[in-house]
Amino acid sequence: MTKYLPFILDEQNYMTNQKCFILTGESLAYLTSFLNTKIAHFWIKLNLPELQGGTRELSKIFFENIRIPIIDQKNQLWYVEKVNNIIESKEMGTNTAEIEKTINKNFYELMELTAEEIKFIEAS
């Protein structure tokens, strides 16, 4: 359950409590980059139950229905690089807004959203 929708790529093998939602498998950097986009956050707000205090219930049953653009491994490397740039920048206390904006823009293109749809998502 979370109010802030943070999706973190853990490569340090941190331990978590039972309130964390953990994904495993391939293409985790790509998946992390997508889940942190405005598109994913918009989808989450529309499709996941809102709990007391404005938190959202993150659960596998809901995420099974999210539409994630499928791209080949080679093109995923661009997203891996951007996620690594964000991690490094945040560790140094640098603002990552421009990198995040670029990732959002690329996902808008991958999902073939119209200018009107993008404007609606950006405003929400």
Tell me the C-alpha distance between 71 and 25, whole Å: 16
In a domain, 15, yes or no: no
Q: What share of the chain is helix, strand, coil (3-state, %, to 5)?
A: 55, 0, 45
pLDDT in tens, 6-49: 788 888 888 887 777 778 888 888 998 999 999 999 998 888 88
In the chain, at which residue ranges do the beta strands (DSSP E only) sit?
none
pLDDT in tens, 70-107: 999 889 999 989 988 998 999 999 999 999 999 999 99
Residue 60: CB atoms within 10 A of its CB come to 8
Domain count, the chain: 1
In a domain, 84, yes or no: yes
In a domain, 20, yes or no: no
Range of the domain at 93: 28-123
In a domain, 3, yes or no: no
In a domain, 88, yes or no: yes
Contacts of 35 (CB under 8 A, 6+ apart): 7
What is the pTM assigned to this prediction? 0.83
